Structure 1
Amino acid sequence: MHAAQSDLEEQLSSPESPGGGARVARAVPQVAAVLVVALLLAVIVRLPWIGDLGMHAATIQRLGHSLLHPGNPLVDADTPSPYYSPWMLLLGALAKVTGLSVFVVLRIGALVGLTLLVTGVWRYVRTLSAQRAAPALALLSLVLLWGTAVLNWSGFIGLHSLALTISYPSVFALGLSFHFWAWLTRALRERASWGRWLALGLLWALILLCHQFTGVVATLGALAMVVSARPGRQVWLRLGAGLVLGAVLLWVWPYYDFFSLFSAGADLEAIHKSLYQHLFARFGLVLLGVLALALRLRRDRWDALALFFALGALVVAAGGLTGHYSWGRAMPAALIPAQLAAALEAVSAGRRAVRAGWACVLGLALAVGFWGQAGTIGYATGKSALPSVLADKYETPWVGYHWITPWVRYGDVVMARTIAARQIPAYGGYTVAPGYPDVFLRDSARRSEAVDRFFAGGTSAQERRGILREYGVRWVVGSADLAGPGLRKVTAGPGEQILYRVMP
């Protein structure tokens, strides 16, 4: 029997100290975790818009319009999209049946994703420790034990990043991943039935379909847990059956070809290069968790969290060394086990004095991590409610393009670029070029070149009219410089933007 499992069974059989000091020590992280969850619930009400929210809103728009043939979520083209996942299909069906706006549906999705994440962390941590404070400490470590610089990216659940991505499929998929790891850990410890292993295979495939990068993290974690358990032949057979069933689901999913995504990495490398920059500023506090992993590995050379970290670090390092920067999206596979190990060490390491010392160091690190991400509070209260020292940490959300909706109808093509192109599809319109990389849109580069030519200062009015006709454009969002023949000003929006109608 593994040392980690023996420790867990010892904790389960030993009553916790009934003293008041022990109760207070448990209550502090639990209260802090409740406050963090309450903050995120308040953020969901406001739903700040920065980044990819428009892509997910557009996906729900298309599915709400047609569940069977939604087409490209951003441009007027009949292409598949990896954003048409089972989770987004469910949210699209909800929008279609209820008539709710996509932003209300996104809030519902955010609430479900946050619930899955919190309960998933709780269930998985309970497989690692019976200490009552462990789940709360783990949740705090996952969202606060990062660095002094903020990293906002889907699949990375630092508090600030989580506030901006709370409605994304990545949060839903990561919540499922923690539940998946909890079920897998218990299945490896028990004589699980064939049905449970088949269900695990389907859940694994579901995570991969909902968010491919989080699916990689879930897979690396599962591999570490299986290797750590060193199961017998019977388990390997059932595990293999579950994997085959999961692969079948990936193969038959009708909305996009999952396996074709393996050849799409070259289009994503430049975007992800920034993940390898400012590593210490972004992740410096995680070094405390790396130390905790070293201590765990010393106690048990088959420790699942240590193996999980090693696999994640290996993939990320290989991506940086070979120029496959998209592999940096596997970074949570190194961060999550380190953050969990730091939390667990505070409740289970050696003597009481050692645990107390570790808890003090962890508490200080969590306080530093929270201060680095304290601008998150503004997404619940608004910037005006923040003191000046916190207002400097606040990143102003995007305004949105609701001001064009009285004129732009569902399915209208709008000529726009940069941030406008990332938001307009959320309201039902299409853009000429996608605001995000699209691996299934064959003429994506040509469309982007056409948009650049249209907005270039030296482009003639005749050439602009030709571009508008080619792509069936009915509206243009741009500056006053575009005024001229063929375009009629309709209204003005924030930042001196103007909506033009394309005249016949």
Structure 2
Amino acid sequence: MSRTAQPGGARAGRVLPQAAAALVLVLLLLVVVRLPWAGDLGMHAATIQRLRHSLPHPGNPLVDADTPSPYYSPWMLLLGSLARLTGLSVFVILRMGALVGLGLLVTGVWRYVRTLSGHRAAPALALLSLVFLWGTVAFNWSGFLGLNSLALTVSYPSVFALGLTFHFWAWLTRTVGGEAGWGRWLSLGTLWALILLCHQFTGVVASLGALAVLISARPGRVVLARLGAALAFAAVLLWLWPYYDFFALFSASADLEAIHQPLYQDLMGRFGLVLLGVVALALRARRDRRDPLVLFFVLGALVFAAGGLTGHYSWGRALPAALIPAQIAAALEAVSAGRRAVRAGWACALLVALAVGAWAQAGTLGYVVKRSALPGAVAAKYRTPWVGYQWITPWVKYGDVVMARTYASRQIPAYGPYTVAPGYPDVFLPDAGRRETAMERYFAAGTSVQDRRGILREYRVQWVVGGRSTAGPGLHRVAAGPDGQVLYRVEP
């Protein structure tokens, strides 16, 4: 009986994770159709808008200023060119980009995990761990692979860069252990530069993972020489990129600290389930102190901790460098732990943790199913995405300048207009602080009509989006939007 049961049990152990991973992939594909709007989607849509109108000189994506922007990456340049050639809506282009990014991510995880384990269920278990092994509180941030976060950011350059990163690690692992020629190493350098240009924070994670691979492999002189050439070639590519000065970003982190401080809050609630992976890493370290996942985790944890201790909160974006190896280690332990009983026990622990993590992110179902169709407990976890500002587009045209508060300024440029103040920190916009102050002063209750008119003239504002209380001399009400918002035309 046991001999006939074992193959069936082994087969189930392979098929069930693969089926679950396939369901997650189907869910994400359905999410791409809806493309729920939150966070930085407006920024990326605005970037494509500027590139479709002018590939060589797109200018600032958010405000009417001729400045560079780190959002003009090779990937966005490709999407902007596609939008220019086809005439398709930027949101259609973003959906196409989401499909490419998702495909790269899934195949990249599969390839990278294959370098760590030959078990057929390992890639599927790793994918499930990457999206569910987080915490009991849903957490959303670009560059982080939780299911809910991934659903909201699937069209972002960060997902594309993460997909490339997993392929990069897989390729590097195989290259450093073989006798690859100069061409392959220079190709790796090109890929590394591409990741850094497309999403700088993911580039840091990619670099830490690559460093772990190299330390683990202990390469010889020949490999080190070719590695040095690859790094030098990548540095040249970064220096030659014409749309922004990559190396200037190293002096710009001070402008990003405040918005990244939340990364250091409620760590147990957001990431508590990853402790299972930390235990798995400890077991791997006992077996091999140079295990690449262990080294990767240590490097990521050190950078994250250093950011918290020194107040450089933007360093918290390196946290995936600690989370990813722990999540993958938890999955691998379920298929590679010593005895069968140990593997079974570990698989049960992982299953419970994944179930808890999936329940915490169950609100993601609301992005593909109407909230009214969800069970009450699941519907309570759903968070309504942003509505958008399509309602202003019959009147506000491409290139018009709109005075709006920060929340609206994160969405309006997606349709082609500019705003007075950028909705996000802009390290290359020298008067960003002055613009922010002007916006706040305009909407302040005590500001005089003359001051408001002066601000509108200074920034050549043609439209104002505000509430009913925003009405005043020189403003003509044109349209009403959701939540009591009103579009006003600025009269000459």
TM-score (ref. length: structure 1):
0.96
Partner of 1:429: 417
Kindly indicate whether residue 488 of structure 2 is the aligned counterpart of residue 500 of structure 1.
Answer: yes
- Alpha-carbon deviation of 1:458? 1.1
- Alpha-carbon deviation of 1:387? 1.3
AA paired with 1:199?
S
Deviation digits for residues 420-439 of structure 1 (CA, Å, limit 9, x no counterpart): 11000000000000000000
Structure 1 segments of 4+ aligned residues over 6 angstroms from their partners: none
Question: Would the aligned equivalents of 2:135 and 2:274 in 1 still touch at CA under 8 Å?
Answer: yes
Deviation digits for residues 42-84 of structure 1 (CA, Å, limit 9, x no counterpart): 0000000011100000000000111110000000000000000
Partner of 2:253: 265
Deviation digits for residues 264-290 of structure 1 (CA, Å, limit 9, x no counterpart): 111111111110000000000000000
Question: Would the aligned equivalents of 2:406 and 2:421 in 1 still touch at CA under 8 Å?
Answer: no
- Distance (Å, rounded) in 1 between the aligned partners of 2:383 and 2:469: 29
Partner of 2:214: 226
- Alpha-carbon deviation of 1:189? 1.4
- Alpha-carbon deviation of 1:382? 2.7
Partner of 2:270: 282
Query: 349-358 or 179-188: which moved more?
Result: 349-358
AA paired with 1:479?
G
AA paired with 2:329?
A
Picking from 259, 263, 279, the partner of 1:291 is 279
SS of the equivalent of 2:478 reads strand
SS of the equivalent of 1:490 reads strand
Query: 459-468 or 224-233: which moved more?
Result: 459-468
> Where do residues 19-30 of structure 1 align in structure 2 (5 Å cutoff)?
19-30=7-18
Kindly indicate whether residue 55 of structure 2 is the aligned counterpart of residue 67 of structure 1.
Answer: yes
**RMSD of aligned Cα (Å):** 0.8
AA paired with 1:284?
G
Kindly indicate whether residue 41 of structure 2 is the aligned counterpart of residue 53 of structure 1.
Answer: yes
- Alpha-carbon deviation of 1:388? 1.1
Partner of 2:100: 112
Picking from 337, 342, 364, the partner of 1:354 is 342
Picking from 284, 294, 303, the partner of 2:291 is 303
SS of the equivalent of 1:268 reads helix
Kindly indicate whether residue 180 of structure 2 is the aligned counterpart of residue 209 of structure 1.
Answer: no
AA paired with 1:72?
N
Deviation digits for residues 317-359 of structure 1 (CA, Å, limit 9, x no counterpart): 0000000000000000000000000000001110111111111
- Distance (Å, rounded) in 2 between the aligned partners of 1:270 and 1:21: 51
- Distance (Å, rounded) in 2 between the aligned partners of 1:246 and 1:317: 28
Picking from 83, 98, 113, the partner of 1:95 is 83
- Alpha-carbon deviation of 1:21? 1.3
- Distance (Å, rounded) in 1 between the aligned partners of 2:245 and 2:294: 34
> Where do residues 374-393 of structure 1 align in structure 2 (5 Å cutoff)?
374-393=362-381
- Distance (Å, rounded) in 2 between the aligned partners of 1:501 and 1:370: 47
- Alpha-carbon deviation of 1:384? 2.1
AA paired with 2:392?
I
AA paired with 1:332?
P
Kindly indicate whether residue 46 of structure 2 is the aligned counterpart of residue 41 of structure 1.
Answer: no
- Distance (Å, rounded) in 2 between the aligned partners of 1:115 and 1:290: 28
- Distance (Å, rounded) in 2 between the aligned partners of 1:267 and 1:89: 25
Picking from 220, 234, 238, the partner of 1:250 is 238
- Distance (Å, rounded) in 1 between the aligned partners of 2:324 and 2:20: 19
- Distance (Å, rounded) in 1 between the aligned partners of 2:24 and 2:373: 18
Partner of 1:13: none
Partner of 1:322: 310
- Distance (Å, rounded) in 1 between the aligned partners of 2:110 and 2:219: 25
Partner of 1:413: 401
Partner of 2:134: 146
Question: Would the aligned equivalents of 2:212 and 2:292 in 1 still touch at CA under 8 Å?
Answer: yes
Picking from 157, 162, 180, the partner of 2:150 is 162
Partner of 2:69: 81
- Distance (Å, rounded) in 1 between the aligned partners of 2:242 and 2:248: 13
- Distance (Å, rounded) in 2 between the aligned partners of 1:365 and 1:28: 16
SS of the equivalent of 1:368 reads helix
Picking from 118, 121, 144, the partner of 1:133 is 121
SS of the equivalent of 2:402 reads strand
Question: Would the aligned equivalents of 2:95 and 2:155 in 1 still touch at CA under 8 Å?
Answer: yes
Question: Would the aligned equivalents of 2:406 and 2:422 in 1 still touch at CA under 8 Å?
Answer: no
Partner of 2:19: 31
- Alpha-carbon deviation of 1:460? 1.3
Picking from 443, 465, 468, the partner of 2:431 is 443
- Distance (Å, rounded) in 2 between the aligned partners of 1:335 and 1:482: 46
SS of the equivalent of 1:485 reads coil
- Alpha-carbon deviation of 1:20? 1.4
Kindly indicate whether residue 184 of structure 2 is the aligned counterpart of residue 193 of structure 1.
Answer: no
AA paired with 2:87?
G
- Alpha-carbon deviation of 1:18? 7.6
AA paired with 1:476?
V
AA paired with 1:455?
F
Q: Percent identity?
A: 77
Kindly indicate whether residue 459 of structure 2 is the aligned counterpart of residue 471 of structure 1.
Answer: yes
AA paired with 1:117?
L
